[in-house]
Amino acid sequence: MSEQFRKVEQYSPKSSPRGSRSPVVPRQDSTGTLKATISLGKNPSIVHTGPFYLIKEPPTESDLTGATNLMAHYGLEHSYNKSSGRKVRDTLSSFLPNLPGQIDSPGHLDNSSLRSVIDKPPIGGKELLPLSSMQLSGFRLHPGALPEQYRLMNQVPQKKKHKHKKHKHKPGDTPSHQESTTTSDVASSAEKKHKKQKRHDDDKERKKRKKEKKKKKQKHSPEHPSGSSHMDM
Amino acid sequence: MTSQALENLEAQLETFIENIRQIKIIVGDFQPQGQNVLNQKIQTVVSGLQEIDKLKSQVQDVHVPLEVFDYIDSGRNPQLYTKDCMEKAMNKNETVRGKIDAYRRFRAHLMVELTSVFPAEMAKYRAIRGDERPMS
């Protein structure tokens, strides 16, 4: 019996350091905690220090919430109507029509993506200086056309708008001549010279072929004295 | 000021790209008499890069979202990014408005039901809150 009382006394409020008051437990947020003090002892009572159990302070109201039309609030209605009204084409070439080359192809295929520039920024900070004559000597090129494997890189896909125009393409012609040129005089004169030379060469070839055909005809004709042997009687 | 700087940069980049295109034509079918022209064009490339480098200080305030780069890398029109952004914002605005509406209705309904079950407590609650908001 006395042992039972001793056990009860071990847990009794008399043995606690704060007496009959409830223990102090450190809490970080007191908004949702028990706003009451429980006192035991001769006159046990519960003293409410707050109105309701777990009552919290309401959140502060703000004027701008998701319930308001934010487009109208920030004056973006006109921009939204404009962007949603007009038809925006999907391709990059429709946004940048003046850029040459194939720009609609994905950048990761030919290692020309902007993302790679961000992930691996190029080494910069060096001063940009014009090239010296020694350095320019490294750019001396051999005359002649590019090999075919590199010509394919320059090809521009033909746009569908030009259906009514008939472009007569020569087999040796490079696609660069198809592009409209608003270039400087030097480049345009180089092009013109190149074209003239090609036409001259083509004409020569045609004349040669015609001569060869004539010779063949003359050999096989009955009027020609140096014709076939069976004509001799 | 920023728009003018952007226009200048755009013009400089277009000139640079045009120069590169001319080099491509010259190199495509090179003739010996074009060597001097090619050298001049290469020097123009260097001067073009210098000009572009000078312009970078004027456009440092311009911020471009990284998602636009993904659109460009996949060959898509960057104006679609703006359009998609605005549509997402509109949809999100409507979603949040719907949530706020639903919570308001739930609160009103809950207050009505609680008042019917615990009238005294709800009266105390309203007095404590100084609640002037209507229940419905």
Nearest CA in chain B to A67: B97
pLDDT along chain A (233 residues), means of 10: 49 57 57 62 71 76 87 87 83 88 84 88 87 92 84 56 51 45 50 61 72 71 47 38
Which pLDDT belongs to residue A233? 36
Which pLDDT belongs to residue B52? 94
Q: Calculate the dihedral angle through the C-alpha atoms of B25, B28, B31, B32, rounding to the nearest 10 degrees.
A: 100
Beta-carbon pairs below 8 A across chains A and B: 147
Q: Which helix (H) or strand (E) holds A46?
A: strand A45-48
Which of B26, B40, B73 has the CB atom closest to A107's CB atom?
Answer: B73
Q: What is the DSSP letter of A18?
A: T
- The vertex-A217 CA angle with A214 and A218, nearest 5°, equals 85
CA terminus-to-terminus distance, chain A: 160
The stretch B69-78 carries a mean pLDDT of: 92
Nearest CA in chain A to B36: A140
Q: Which two tokens stand for residue A133?
A: 């004559």
For B36-46, how does the pLDDT look when each residue is reduced to its tens digit (9 = 90+)?
999 999 999 99
What are the backbone dihedrals phi and psi of residue A138, each rounded to the nearest 5 degrees, phi first?
-70, -10
Question: How far, rounded to the nearest angstrom, does the alpha carbon of residue B54 sit from its chain's CA centroid?
Answer: 26
A139 CB neighbours in chain B (<8 A) are 38-39, 42
Rounded-to-integer distance, Cα A15 and Cα A10, Å: 6
A12: left (phi over 0), alpha (psi -120 to 50) or beta: beta
Which pLDDT belongs to residue A173? 45
Which pLDDT belongs to residue B68? 93
The stretch B77-91 carries a mean pLDDT of: 91
Torsional sign, CA A17, A21, A24, A25: positive
Minimal CA separation from B81 to chain A, in Å: 10
Residue closest to A185 by CA, chosen among A193, A176, A197: A193
Distances (CA, A) of A104 to A97, A112, A156, B24: 11, 12, 11, 20
B123: left (phi over 0), alpha (psi -120 to 50) or beta: alpha
Give the number of other Cβ atoms within 10 Å of residue A158's Cβ.
11
Contact B69 A114 (CB under 8 A): yes
N residues, chain A: 233
Rounded-to-integer distance, Cα A69 and Cα A147, Å: 61
- pTM for the model stands at 0.56
> A residues 106-135 near B, CB within 8 Å?
106-108, 113-115, 118, 128-131
Three-state SS for B2-41 is: HHHHHHHHHHHHHHHHHHHHHHHHHHHEECHHHHHHHHHH
Give chain B's radius of gyration (CA, Å). Answer: 32
For A140-161, how does the pLDDT look when each residue is reduced to its tens digit (9 = 90+)?
998 988 888 777 655 555 555 5
For B19-57, how does the pLDDT look when each residue is reduced to its tens digit (9 = 90+)?
999 999 999 889 999 999 999 999 999 999 999 999 999
Q: Which amino acid, one-letter code, is at B128? A: I
A83 CB neighbours in chain B (<8 A) are 79, 82-83, 86
What are the backbone dihedrals phi and psi of residue B17, each rounded to the nearest 5 degrees, phi first?
-65, -40
Contact A183 B22 (CB under 8 A): yes
For B98-136, how does the pLDDT look when each residue is reduced to its tens digit (9 = 90+)?
999 999 999 999 999 999 999 998 998 888 887 545 444
> What residues does A75 pair with on adjacent strands?
none
What are the backbone dihedrals phi and psi of residue B38, each rounded to the nearest 5 degrees, phi first?
-65, -40
Q: Which residue, among A128, A148, A197, would best test binding to B if mutated, counting the most B CBs under 10 Å from its CB?
A: A128
Q: Is A140 on the interface with B (CB under 8 A)?
A: yes
Question: How far, rounded to the nearest angstrom, does the alpha carbon of residue B67 sit from its chain's CA centroid?
Answer: 8
A114 CB neighbours in chain B (<8 A) are 69, 72-73
